[in-house]
Chains A and B, each alone.
Chain A
Amino acid sequence: MFRGLSTACSCRFLGVGSFGCWPYLVGAFGKVLKLIATRALLGLATLFAVSVLIFVCTQILPGDVATAVLGQSATKETLAAFRKELGLDVPAYIRFFTWLWRALHGDLGVALTNQRVIIDEIRPRFANTMFLAGYAALIAVPLAVGLGVVAAIREGRPIDRISNILTLMTISVPEFFVGYVLIAIFTVEFGLFPSLATVDADTSFLGRIYVTTLPAVTLTLLVTAHMLRMTRTSVLSVMSSQYIEMAFLKGLTRGRVVAHHALPNAAAPIITVVALNLAYLVVGVVVVEAVFTYPGIGQLMVDAVSKRDVPVIQACGLIFAAVFVGLNTLADILAILVNPRLRHRR
């Protein structure tokens, strides 16, 4: 009895065979699980390749970190000692795996410029960045998907045209322009929000929300445009299919056809584009943080780049890459789950 049970379970998770109690269900579920596992593995492989690339980029410096820090005038002995201290005397591939292994264990090394432990520097800033990105996402996603569906229902009407022009404009202007225009309006004209988003560990939750409103709105404007257009496009592309025409011929209203017939089929591309834009949000944050001098991980990375502090750059780059690849992988997995057709393509 136990044996039979365990076989059913294992085949469900491994996706092999379909001799369980519910042959079809187990088979289908196993297939989905296999697809998801493949996609997750692919994500991990991508991340590994990216980490190799990041490491290689920081190693092709003419000379090395030791000469960069100590300068040209350092003697050979000092250089050799410093290289040993930094662990630069071992081969590059060993250094890479040591670096990656430590990074996986939360040890990102020590900053060159101020000798601080990088992970302690990053942790609060990462939380700040995620707070800002999450805040923006909470406004942007419902707004964009809602407006996109409305624009698709009212295709060609004033609301569709207005949203079309507005989104085209916000897509083509730089992040900092949106930021400064918002500051000019809300801080300079009306004095409603502060122009600098300074927060520290003691700032209360409500205080944080108040201070980060302008940066969050800036980010929202940037990502909403793209999400809105893609939502509109994917709803409209479903609208041109035959079963939608059939629904119209049955005499259903446009709103009902969109909500019941078109939306479920347009969901997969919408989810993908939402996740992609969330990934973009995390990057757009770099510039927006600079506009509002918000203490996030983007600011940390920019500072590190201007000081050419390689370990910090590596660490921040790795974190950004992980978030980006993670969200992309998540987008694909959600698309597989939402759209049954993707399961049978291969």
Chain B
Amino acid sequence: MTLFGYKPPFTAWVGIVIVTVNLLVAVFGPWLTPYGESQSVAGTWDPPSAALWLGADQIGRDMLTRLIYGARMTIGVAMVTTVLSFVMGITTGFVAAVLGGWVDQLLSRLVDVILSIPLLIFALIILGVFGSAIPVLVLTIAFLDSTRVFRLARALAMNLSVLEYVEAARLRGEGIWWIMRREILPNASAPLFSEFGLRFCFNFLFVAALSFLGLGIQPPFADWGGMVRDNAAAISFGMLAPIWPALAISVMTVGVNLVVDWLLSIEARPSGAQAEL
């Protein structure tokens, strides 16, 4: 079977299926389940049955329903964050590379300082000051993540901006936006695209980890990280309730990683992006 003229290997197919199913569930969630998002239908941590395939959660809501609604929230927030992070990172990265000089120095040194301590610690500091409303959460993670995108975008644009056709555009008197949009972006899009998958994984895990710490998406919304936290006590009683949302997160990340690996192998680029923490 081929896809866009390429023949994905088995692992890539696994990834594609996982990602597609997750996205479909996220989009069509409400039509897939008979229960409401916060409808209590059973007792606390009722075991799995024909009506509740994965059992009930800490206040008797159907676990599977929560997972389906959680897909929407968790994947949605991570997706918006990644898009925002790319918009910020690519713009600043290209500006730094094209303008050079003190703009480049200022932006690069700021990114160096931000990246010199773990992003989780920075996120905790910012969320501690501004609180954990969803817009704040999205902006914070997007801002922190855009530092990584910045580095990649700047490096790519640095290599491109010395080429003849960019030089020619400059000599024609084109503006910086035109050069960035029409000359550099199309030629940098392939590596940026596979980076998008990796950054999505990172942001997805980041949102999940923050929600798990109780500092991300707040109840009553269902989200996978928060569900792990809410059901954590069940494990002390020998029930597997927190495993399901955690498993959903893991499966999604593995799926995206498999797809990205395949994309990277098409591009035949050493996957240096994987090496960072």
Chain A residues close to B by CB (< 8 Å): 46, 49-50, 53-54, 57-58, 60-61, 168-169, 172-177, 180-181, 183-184, 187-188, 195-196, 226, 230, 276-277, 279-280, 283, 286-287, 290-291, 301-302, 304-306, 308-310, 313-314, 316-317, 320-321, 324-325, 328
Residue of B nearest to A323 (CB): B117
Of residues 175 through 223 on chain B, the ones whose CB sits less than 8 Å from some CB of chain A are: 201, 205, 208-209, 212-215
Is B130's CB within 8 Å of the partner chain A?
yes
> In the complex, what residues of B have CB within 8 A of residue A279's CB?
118
14 example contacts (A-B, Cβ-Cβ < 8 A) are as follows A53-B113, A54-B125, A58-B129, A173-B250, A176-B212, A180-B243, A196-B236, A230-B275, A276-B277, A305-B127, A306-B215, A310-B129, A321-B121, A325-B117
Please name the residue on chain A nearest to B257 by beta carbon.
A172
Q: Do A283 and B118 form a contact, CB below 8 Å, given A177-B247, A313-B125?
A: yes
- B227-252 Cβ-contact flags toward A at 8 Å (1 or 0): 01100100110101011001101100
**Contact assessment for B236 and A195 in the assembled complex, using a CB-CB cutoff below 8 Å:** yes
At the interface, yes or no: B114 with Cβ under 8 Å from chain A? yes
User: Nearest chain A CB to B124's CB is how many angstroms away?
Assistant: 5
Q: With contacts A175-B209, A180-B228, A310-B129 known, is A320 near B117, CB below 8 A?
A: yes
Q: Would B118 and A174 count as touching, CB distance under 8 A? A: no
**Is A302 in contact with B124, judged by CB distance below 8 angstroms?**
yes
Fill in one digit per residue for B105-120: 1 if any A CB lies within 8 Å of its CB, else 0. 0000000111011101
Q: Smallest Cβ distance from A15 to chain B, in angstroms?
A: 26
Contact of B250 among A177, A188, A301 (CB under 8 A): A177
Residues of A within 8 A of B209 (CB): 174-176, 287
Say whether, besides A287-B213, A324-B118, A50 and B113 are in contact (CB < 8 Å). Answer: yes
- Min Cβ gap B257→A in Å is 5
Interface of A, secondary structure class, is helix
A279 to B228, CA, bound (A): 26
* B82 is an interface residue with CB less than 8 A from chain A: no
Q: In the complex, what residue of chain A is closest to B248 when comparing beta carbons?
A: A177
Q: Is the CB of B113 within 8 A of A46?
A: yes
Q: Is the CB of B131 within 8 A of A308?
A: yes
Measured in the bound complex, the distance between the Cα atoms of B201 and A196 in whole Å is 29
B226 to chain A, nearest CB (A): 11
The reply to whether A310 and B275 form a contact with Cβ atoms under 8 Å apart is no
Categorize the interface residue count of chain B: 35 or more
B123 nearest CB across to chain A (Å): 9
Other than the given A305-B215, A320-B117, 13 more pairs (CB < 8 A) read A58-B128, A169-B254, A172-B253, A173-B246, A174-B209, A175-B209, A176-B242, A177-B247, A226-B277, A276-B277, A286-B213, A290-B212, A290-B213
Q: Are B208 and A321 in contact (CB under 8 A)?
A: no
Chain B residues contacting A183 (CB-CB under 8 Å) are 235
Q: Which of B117, B214, B254 contacts A324 (CB 8 A)?
A: B117
- What is the distance, in angstroms, from B271's C-beta to the closest C-beta of chain A? 11
Q: Are A304 and B128 in contact (CB under 8 A)?
A: yes
Residue in chain B with minimal CB distance to A314 = B125
B129-182 residues at the A interface, CB under 8 angstroms:
129-131
Partner of A174, one of B124, B125, B205, B275: B205
Q: Is the CB of A302 within 8 A of B215?
A: yes
Chain B residues near A321 (CB, 8 Å)? Answer: 116-117, 121
Q: Contact at B243–A184, with CB atoms within 8 Å? A: yes
B213 pairs with A180, CB closer than 8 A: no
**Do residues A305 and B128 form an inter-chain contact, with CB atoms below 8 A?**
yes
B126 at the interface (CB under 8 A from A): yes
CA distance A258 to B127 in the complex (A): 48
- What residues on A are CB-neighbors of B240 within 8 Å? 184, 188
Q: Which of B112, B124, B236, B243 contacts A181 (CB 8 A)?
A: B243
- A230 vs B208: C-alpha distance when bound (angstroms): 26
Q: How far, in Å, is A153 (CB) from chain B's closest CB?
A: 22
A173 to B249, CA, bound (A): 7
Residues of A close to B131: CB separation below 8 A: 308
CB within 8 Å of A: which of B76-131?
Answer: 112-114, 116-118, 120-122, 124-131
A67 → B minimal CB distance (Å): 13
Bound CA span A61–B131, Å: 10
Nearest 6 A-B pairs (CB), nearest first? A305-B128, A177-B246, A173-B250, A313-B128, A283-B118, A321-B117
- A residues less than 8 Å from B246 (CB atoms): 173-174, 176-177, 180-181
Residues of B within 8 A of A305 (CB): 124-125, 127-128, 213, 215
With a cutoff of 8 Å between Cβ atoms, the chain B residues found around residue A317 in the complex are 117, 121-122, 124-125
Q: Which residue on A lies nearest to B117, using beta carbons? A: A321
Q: Measured between alpha carbons, how far is A63 from B246 in the docked complex, in Å? A: 38
B139 nearest CB across to chain A (Å): 13
Instruction: Decide if B277 touches A174 in the complex (CB within 8 Å).
Output: no
Q: Given A195-B235, A290-B213, A305-B124 in contact, is the A177-B249 Cβ separation under 8 Å?
A: yes
Instruction: Please tell me if the beta carbons of B253 and A58 are within 8 angstroms of each other in the complex.
Output: no
Q: Which residues of A contact B120 (CB under 8 A)?
A: 283, 286
B126 & A57 in contact (Cβ 8 Å cutoff):
yes
Q: Which residue of A lies closest to B250 (CB)?
A: A173
Residues in chain B near residue A54, CB distance under 8 A: 125
CB neighbours (8 Å) of A168 from chain B are 257
Contact A180 B242 (CB under 8 A): yes
Interfacial chain B residues near A50, Cβ < 8 Å = 113, 116-117
Q: Is the CB of A61 within 8 A of B130?
A: yes
User: When the two chains form the complex, which single residue of B114, B126, B229, B277 contacts A280, counting CB atoms closer than 8 Å?
Assistant: B277
What is the chain A residue whose CB lies nearest that of B126?
Answer: A57
